[in-house]
Every structure is written in structure tokens, then in C-alpha cells.
Structure 1
Amino acid sequence: MPFIDHALAPRFELHGVSFTGLASPSRGASETAVWLVTLPPGSEGVPHRLTREEVFVAIEGAARARVDGQTHELRPGCALVVPPHVEVCLANPYDVPFRTVAVLPVGGQAVLDGGPPFTPPWAQ
């Protein structure tokens, strides 16, 4: 059973957002990828879609999520389930960082601005 130490987990940045890779195929998971997402204060978010269902569990701070045109406030303990192929955008208009755990089935890919699907490095 693999153990991923947060202090040693790989870190990535995209569009000013920080991603800490936890479980993924390259780190021993065969069915589920899990990572931490940190949105700095004032983050506007980047609309994107996923090819598989994605789940976010808020752990710190607050954020606004727009999913398929509906807006939701995420606060610690809240979960957001994003269906596949539906546009989602997480923004942090607040003064403190927002942290969430993201979960995506292995093989899920992201799509930005109508570009080709790709597997984010934190989910590989």
C-alpha cells in the first residue's frame, strides 16, 4: 500500500493555481487520482471540462464554483460533484487562500478552451 507524504508530494502550477499530487497511477493508485488544489486570493478561475466526474471537498477558505451556469459557495466541509463534460470554474474572490481536495477517476482528462483533452500532470 503506497504512502504519499505531503511534504514530498510533487507540486505543479497552472494559471496561478497550485496542485499537490497525492494519489495517481505514478504514485501507486490504479483507480482514483487525488490532489490538493490551492487557489490564491483573487483567483478568477479558468473554465474547463473533465471527461469523467470530478469531486471537490473544500477544506480551507472559501470559493465560488460555477457549474453548468449555476453558482455555488464552497466552504470547509462542502462537496461539489461535477458531472463529466460540464463546464466548471472555481474562483476565489476572497482575501485568504482556498484549499480543496480534488478526486478524479484514473483516465479522466481535462479540456481547456475547446482544446484537446489532456491528463493533468498531478493526475498521472
Structure 2
Amino acid sequence: MPLIRSADSCRSTTPNGVMTTLASPTQGGATHAVWRVDMPAGNTGPHHASDGEQVWTFLTGGATVELDRETITVEPRDTIVMPAGVSRRVHADAESGFSAIVAAPAGFEVYNPGGTTAADACDLAPKGTDRLVPPWVL
């Protein structure tokens, strides 16, 4: 069905935040995934990379984004494009945390850059060269 009611949105909780699926192949039959990220103050997401471009628009709060060895500070209403194949890590503002809307190709995979086991992409335990599709984009 093309209409996804707010009450029907799927939520995925990790130790770092909550992802709420707004549209995906299994939610609305979309060819792109759209989700909301709510990350509490001071939390940090995992270091990982994605094989699909992601576009993040920050709604509230702020964050520092490590993107391919560059550190970018974002505020509400800022948008950051995270290219495919580039390592990234998002740190929520220590005082406010943040909320963001993210869009990406449905079915993209996340992985640990460099094939190391030092990071845990999306806190869902891919190790080494393992790849996975995050549940909020299915």
C-alpha cells in the first residue's frame, strides 16, 4: 500500500538510537528507503561504510559527522550527503542529541571499512568482510 500511517511505522532500536522506517520496499513498496534517526545526547553511532549513498537532513539538535577523514559539524536544517563507499561515524551533540531524516537506495548494505573487526556496523554484528542490510531499509 502506498500510504504508510504513522502508527504503522517500524522502529528499530540499537544501543545508539532509534531508527523509524517511514518508507521501504516492505513499507509502501518504495524503491528508496526513508527513515528517521533519533540519537540521544552524547551517543555515538558505529564506524561503518555503506554501498549506497545516504542523504541526511537534521531536524533537531546537532551532531559531528566523521566522513572520510573529514569532521563536519551539523545543525538543524543542515543536510549532508554521505557518498557510497566512504567511512562514516555520527556523534550526537552532548547536550541535545539529534533527530534526522535519511534517504537511501532500498537494500543497501553496510560493512566495516577495510574489512577490520574494529567496528560493528549498525550494532548488528557484521565482522570482517561481512555485509548486511539494516532492518530499517528492508
Q: Calculate the TM-score normalised by the size of structure 1.
A: 0.91
Change (3 A) 1:117 1:81: same
Deviation at 1:97, TM superposition (A): 2.7
Distance in 2 separating the partners of 1:44 and 1:97: 10
Distance in 2 separating the partners of 1:123 and 1:89: 18
Deviating beyond 4 angstroms after TM superposition, the runs of 4 or more aligned structure 1 residues are: none
2:46 matched residue in structure 1: 46
Q: Is the 8 A contact 1:44 1:93 kept in 2?
A: no
Identity of aligned residues (%): 29
1:78 matched residue in structure 2: 78
Q: Give aligned pairs, total.
A: 124
Deviations 1:48-89 (A, max 9, x none): 100111110001110110100101111111111111111011
SS of the equivalent of 1:27 reads coil
Of 109-118 and 48-57, more deviation after overlay is shown by: 109-118
Match of 2:131, as an amino acid?
P
Alignment of 1:37-116 (within 5 A): 37-112=37-112, 113=119, 114-116=128-130
Match of 1:11, as an amino acid?
R
Distance in 1 separating the partners of 2:22 and 2:104: 12
Q: Is the 8 A contact 2:36 2:99 kept in 1?
A: yes
Q: Calculate the TM-score normalised by the size of structure 2.
A: 0.83
* RMSD of aligned residue pairs (Cα, Å): 1.5
Structure 2 alignment gaps of length 5 or more: 113-118, 120-127
SS of the equivalent of 1:26 reads coil
Distance in 1 separating the partners of 2:129 and 2:6: 31
Match of 1:102, as an amino acid?
V
Structure 1 alignment gaps of length 5 or more: none
